[in-house]
A = this chain, B = another copy of it.
């Protein structure tokens, strides 16, 4: 059994997803967001954002999707987006094993993969 509150208590860094479970080749990752991320896209997969605590926003070229606890959104494959959160937001990501957080835009915010907690 995996308890989200217990897992979130184990880290404090932002924009650095931690793997908590795998279903086949799909990973479930927890991440704390604060501030603005970088524009990027994932060319080979959709990506799920599920908000567990707080509120965040996913900006697209033509719209913003606002999410709060108890809400989820699927970012379509190959579509450029920028996550942001004014205050710290607790999120679960669901995506295939091997997806890098910054997609096609590596840089300072690129996090190591497969860090389990």
Contact = CB atoms under 8 A, between A and B. Distances in A.
Interface of A: 1-5, 21-24, 26, 28, 45-48, 52, 65-67, 70-74, 77, 94-96
Contact of A72 (B21, B26, B47, B67): B21
B71 A46 contact: no
Copies of this subunit: 2
Contacts of A71: 1-4
A70 B22 contact: no
Nearest to A24: B46
B1 A23 contact: no
A23 B48 contact: yes
Contacts of A22: 46, 74
A4 B70 contact: yes
B70 A21 contact: no
A3 B5 CA distance: 20
A15 to B, nearest CB: 20
Residue among A3, A23, A48, A74 with the most chain B CB within 10 A?
A23
